[in-house]
């Protein structure tokens, strides 16, 4: 599919509309067709806009949410923040970017955790935490590059999962949970190296997923 300005506009319209259908239809082809119709488009446009189906739409939503996170961060005078506060702000901003669509988030996690979509889901997660580290000022290229991202992915993922079931006022319990978890990120230099070989520009999603799982199992990450 050619990434034309026209189709980019159509994808945006469908993506905005589909979030209201997902709680009832799930991330499905039917939800995308309904969203296209609601946006005033031929329902068949959904297949052109997202040829990979719902997984394409979820990845696109993730990218949009990442941009919203970065915009919020840029407006927050990050130069005045301590490094740990920058990371905490970014994690919180990323969750707040999708906070109006809790059930869509829950269903997206389930959808992208299925074997056919796991690779793409892992890549989307990687891009999110890579954006966080880069925005916070990290420019590392040494062996800690993947360790930092895997550790932050574990913190972000565990906080997101906590938030999904949090009904406290203003998600106060989630932010307290995040504060407890974020110290794990600050301990990264002490984490023993578990990655063999040189880093590459694009991660092996399976290796990155294993690293995230390891961090989730370690006491500091959960």
Per-residue model confidence as pLDDT tens digits over 55-106 = 999 999 999 999 999 999 999 989 999 999 999 999 999 999 999 999 999 9
Query: Quick one: which H or E segment has residue 147?
Result: helix 144-164
How far is CA 175 from each of CA 76, 108, 146, 165, rounded to the nearest angstrom? 17, 22, 25, 13
Sign of the CA dihedral with 133 first, then 136, 138, and 143 last: negative
Residue 112, pLDDT > 90, answer yes
Domain 54-221, CATH? 1.10.357.10
Global confidence as pTM: 0.83
Q: Where are the domains of the chain?
A: 1-51, 54-221
Closest CA to 145 of 159, 129, 125: 129
Q: What is the pLDDT of residues 152-169, one digit of tens each?
A: 999 999 999 999 999 999
* Helix, strand, or coil (residue 42): coil
Looking at residue 19, what is its pLDDT? 97
The C-alpha atoms of residue 26 and residue 13 are separated, in whole angstroms, by 18
**Long-range Cβ contacts of 116-121 (<8 Å, 24+ apart):** 116/55, 117/55, 118/205, 118/209, 119/205, 119/206, 120/55, 120/59, 121/55, 121/58
Sign of the CA dihedral with 21 first, then 68, 173, and 220 last: positive
């Amino acid at each position: 599919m050619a990434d034309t300005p026209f189709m980019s506009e159509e994808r945006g319209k469908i993506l905005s509309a589909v979030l209201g259908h997902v709680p009832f239809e799930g991330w499905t082809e039917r939800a995308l067709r309904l969203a296209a119709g609601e946006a005033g488009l031929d329902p068949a446009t959904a297949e052109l806009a997202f040829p990979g189906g719902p997984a394409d739409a979820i990845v696109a939503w993730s990218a949009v949410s990442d941009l919203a996170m970065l915009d919020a961060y840029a407006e927050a005078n990050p130069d005045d923040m301590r490094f740990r506060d920058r990371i905490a702000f970014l994690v919180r901003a990323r969750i707040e970017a999708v906070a109006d669509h809790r059930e869509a988030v829950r269903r997206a996690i389930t959808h992208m955790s299925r074997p056919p979509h796991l690779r793409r889901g892992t890549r989307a997660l990687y891009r999110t935490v890579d954006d966080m580290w880069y925005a916070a000022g990290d420019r590392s290229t040494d062996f800690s590059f993947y360790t930092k991202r895997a550790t932050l992915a574990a913190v972000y993922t565990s906080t997101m999962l906590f938030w999904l079931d949090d009904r406290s006022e203003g998600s106060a319990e989630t932010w307290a949970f995040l504060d407890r978890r974020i110290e794990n990120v600050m301990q990264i230099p002490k984490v023993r190296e578990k990655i063999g070989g040189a880093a590459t520009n694009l991660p092996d999603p399976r290796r990155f997923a294993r690293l995230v799982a390891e961090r989730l199992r370690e006491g500091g990450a959960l």
